[in-house]
Amino acid sequence: MTKQEASERYQIPLHILNEYERWGLCGVVKEVMGAWQYDDADLDRLSTIMTLHDLGFTVREVETYMRLLLEQPHSERQRLRMLEEKRNAALDEIHFKERQLQRLDFLRRELQKAQSRTGGIEN
């Protein structure tokens, strides 16, 4: 499958495919008649890359994760640490957003109380 076909069929942005090729992690990807050819293993790796991007990994973090996965067979602990760090960051963000919602709800309640005391008429 060519780069364009992979991009269209699996909704993978071309810049992701370009990154993948640039990292040299393509494994059995072959250049045939001027076009890269992707096999099922490449598509599985690209799925992992897309997932990491969706989780908020930077390009550098994705490359590090994929190099660990493909070049260091016993890197589970390092990759798990990366995933845990990203999870903790997501939880921190969720908790921050929860506090924002609590503050918004407080202000809304205060405004609703004020409106009910004044009959809801505002100028």
pLDDT in 10s for each residue of the chain, 123 residues: 777 888 888 888 888 888 877 877 665 456 665 667 777 888 888 889 889 999 999 989 999 999 999 888 899 999 999 999 999 999 999 999 999 999 999 999 999 999 998 876 554
Terminal-to-terminal C-alpha distance of the chain:
65
pTM for the full model? Answer: 0.70
Based on the number of CB atoms within 10 Å of its own CB, is 93 exposed (0-12), middle (13-18) or buried (19 or more)? exposed
* 37 and 61 together in one domain: yes
Token pair recorded at residue 116? 């009910």
Q: How far is CA 57 from CA 27, 29, 52, 73, in A?
A: 22, 24, 5, 21
Looking at the fold, whether 31 and 82 belong to one and the same domain comes out as no
What would the two tokens of residue 84 be?
Answer: 């845990």
Question: How far apart are the C-alpha atoms of 57 and 78, rounded to whole Å?
Answer: 15
Kindly give, in sequence order, each residue whose CB lies less than 8 Å from that of residue 55, ignoring residues fewer than 6 positions away: 86, 90
| Number of structural domains the chain divides into | 2
Domain span at residue 101?
76-123
